[in-house]
Amino acid sequence: MQLFSQKLENSKLRLPPGVKDFLFEETQQRRELESRIMRALMSKGYREIITPTFEYSDVFSQANESRNALEDKTYRFLDRDGNLLALRADFTAQIARIAASRFTPNDLPLRLCYSGKVFRAEPLHAGRSREKWQIGFELLGAGDVDADVEAVNNILDGLAVLGLREVRVALAHIGFFNGLVAHAGLNGEALQHLKYLVERKSVAGLHETLQRLTLPRELHETLLQLPNLHGDAEVLARARRFAWNETSRHALAHLEAVWAQLRGHTDSGRVFVDLSEVEGMGYYTGIMLRAFVAGAGAEVGSGGRYDDLISRFGANLPAVGFSFDVDLLAHALSQNSF
């Protein structure tokens, strides 16, 4: 490889870790996939908005009332008057603020979409970016099964217009796990650790940790089974015997209802259930969605339902949203063909 400049010792050429320049083909590819996904969303009645790149830090902290991983990754700085500002770490928090302040009940249900960057101080690991380009949608003011089905369809359509064939959307529901541990009397730290082990599907780690915690036998056994609760509708049926309280039962019934309405997709394996997916944004209250495509080693997008978030900004609105990761989609597309 021949480089124009050999002055590699020149520190002015360096970029901070986690950010990138994109030249012609790579820019073009990203713009093309952006326009395809945005057009697909707009054709379904989603309207694009632009949110500020930075705003008062409170907006993001408000959204993450309970201490959340995102909180530690937010870039904060002071303005000239000494106010604490933050770079946009998350679109959803901003959209919650906007929904609560700029719209009235007559506007509901509200369908919004966006394309832009979020900034997160990710650990420098596995090529992770600190500036992530997201394309997303939010469906506000609709809390029923139909709304979650619409979200899944939006995701699959977004992947389809890119020409991606080998795709899978994983459905989970935070209520299933929350219901299981609701009355176990676990402190925040123990709960966090259990969540981490379940999410990692570490049966060995769970064995070891559960030996130290004295949990009811039923819960102990269920937590050990969780890493295996993934697959199709059969998993939802199998999970019923673990759902001994109302919250867990309701979560399963909801997933079953969503599954039933996605028949065309479930038959072809484009939808998948994984009840061991328990980590996500701190504000998720219901279904959680992750998208996978061949050629990308991690999820190319994630989202979920957040029925309590907008009320923190003063309006009580159920909502579901999702965002695609443009760079990971571009990577997957270059592995296949665009």
Closest approach, Cβ 202 to another protein, in A, equals 5
Nearer to another protein (CB atom), residue 82 or residue 123: 123
Closest approach, Cβ 254 to another protein, in A, equals 20
Closest approach, Cβ 1 to another protein, in A, equals 22
Tokens in use for 71?
């909180």
Contact 46, 113 (CB under 8 A): yes
Nearer to another protein (CB atom), residue 148 or residue 274: 274
C-alpha span between 60 and 333 (Å, rounded)? 32
Closest approach, Cβ 293 to another protein, in A, equals 8
Nearer to another protein (CB atom), residue 178 or residue 225: 225
Nearer to another protein (CB atom), residue 118 or residue 198: 198
Nearer to another protein (CB atom), residue 40 or residue 293: 293
Closest approach, Cβ 125 to another protein, in A, equals 6
Closest approach, Cβ 280 to another protein, in A, equals 14
C-alpha span between 139 and 320 (Å, rounded)? 5
Tokens in use for 241?
């015997």
Nearer to another protein (CB atom), residue 207 or residue 240: 207
Contact 262, 282 (CB under 8 A): no
Site residues (vs another protein, CB under 8 A):
123, 125-127, 166, 168, 170, 200-205, 207, 224, 227-228, 230-231, 272, 274, 290, 292-294, 296-299
CA nearest neighbour of 195 among 66, 121, 186: 186
With vertex at residue 86, the alpha carbon angle to CA 34 and CA 56, rounded to the nearest 5 degrees, is: 110
